[in-house]
Homo-oligomer: A and B are copies of this chain.
Amino acid sequence: MRAAMEAEAVASELCSGHGRAYLDGLVVGGKPVCECNTCFGGPDCSLFSPDCAADVDSGNPLFLEPFWMQNAASSAVLVSGWHRMGYSYNNQSSISKELEKYIRKLHSVVGNAVTEKRFIVFGAGSTQLLNAAVHALALDNSTSPAGVVATFPFYPAYKKQTNFFRSTDYKFLGDTSLCKNTSEANTNIIEFVTSPNNPDGQLMKAVVQGANAKAIYDHAYFWPHFTAIPAPADEDLMIFTLSKLTGHAGTRFGWALVKDEIVYERMATYVDVNSFSVSHDTQLVALKLLKTVLEGKGREIFDFAFGTMRNRWETLSEALSVSNRFSIQEIEPRYCTFFNQVRGPSPAYAWLKCERDKDEDCYTVLKTAGIIGRSGTVFGSGSRYVRLSLIKTQDDFDLLIRKIKTLVSNEDGFKTM
């Protein structure tokens, strides 16, 4: 109870709606200090710096923070000091059966993945599971190191992580175009398929075919906020993360749905040897969050999240509709089985292209205009592209739109409507 009251006191700090104060934050004079959104400052975060750059680089999913603040009472969880201190759950498993049950229920309610006849592995975010999957798939009847590939543009962590561990069992090769047909090769090819894709939001399928081709489906963004759900995904190895579902990037929790038992066991062993298991308090927090998500069959959070993302996309599209200089990706409207209707795009990121010949370094063009994106080169694409994150705070997004409008209104040959 004392803990609960402490938490309430912290929560009651208002920070002008442009920041927050936490239990484990800095305390000055007995009062928790506000941690302000980018470009906001002062003791209560009310001071706005108009010349400050719009930082839309990272995929920090803070757009969901208001939802959890609105649902503070139902989503808070008290972790007792004696909560599951041992290494295992009562069934000698490293995963909470109750949490596993809620994950299966969630996929069933959302209709975005088949969980029947699938094993579940938990990891410290999807990050840990990505390499666990590469490890597991590389060991299948292979004589040479497995090649790991992805289709440009792709999430850079695949390459960074695969190379980082310098395993004798696998190496990163690059774009899938290098090896679309592996049926003759003796080498396993492991393809990362991000669907919807990071950075461009397109639904994707594996392109590498052949007996030695294996795919890891990274479905981090396969939720109704970011894409229409045409049908439940039914792949052999699918990875999800709490980060892009509920917005809890700081709670390192992800899960993999795995069809093959041997692959599942290898992945579970990887997590075990690497870090033993996912922290029991993290599993308890994830359980509470999923319970809240599933209240009212998930309509509340997905309505909120889709509404926010759809609104942001429309706002950005409108701001850029008068531009000849910049374009963003097209995503077709599609029937969504979750919302039971055709719906327009609401991707996590804008994949912006500088169209003018001289704007070859698009990142710098935007930077100069006070917009910090992530260069297309990071995703293996050309420097004409920049990824803009649309999933950060409303303040970050509002500032982005302000800068975009200024930039577009200053265009030579301003398109007439």
Contact = CB atoms under 8 A, between A and B. Distances in A.
A126 to B, nearest CB: 10
This chain: how many copies in the complex? 2
B83 A22 contact: yes
A71 interface: yes
A69 interface: yes
A177 B25 CA distance: 49
A157 B275 CA distance: 11
A166 interface: yes
A328 to B, nearest CB: 24
Contact of A85 (B26, B65, B87, B288): B65
A46 interface: no
A58 interface: yes
Interface stretch (A3-11, A181-189, A191-199, A207-215): A3-11
A78 B75 contact: no
Interface size grouping (class) on chain A: 35 or more
A127 B277 CA distance: 10
Interface string A113-135: 00000000001110110010000
Nearest to A272: B127
Contacts of A250: 83-88, 277, 279-281
Looking at A87, A169, A287, the one whose CB has the most chain B CB atoms below 10 A away is: A87
A412 interface: no
A81 B98 contact: no
A358 interface: no
9 contacts: A3-B4, A4-B4, A60-B87, A68-B80, A68-B85, A84-B250, A128-B275, A161-B273, A281-B285
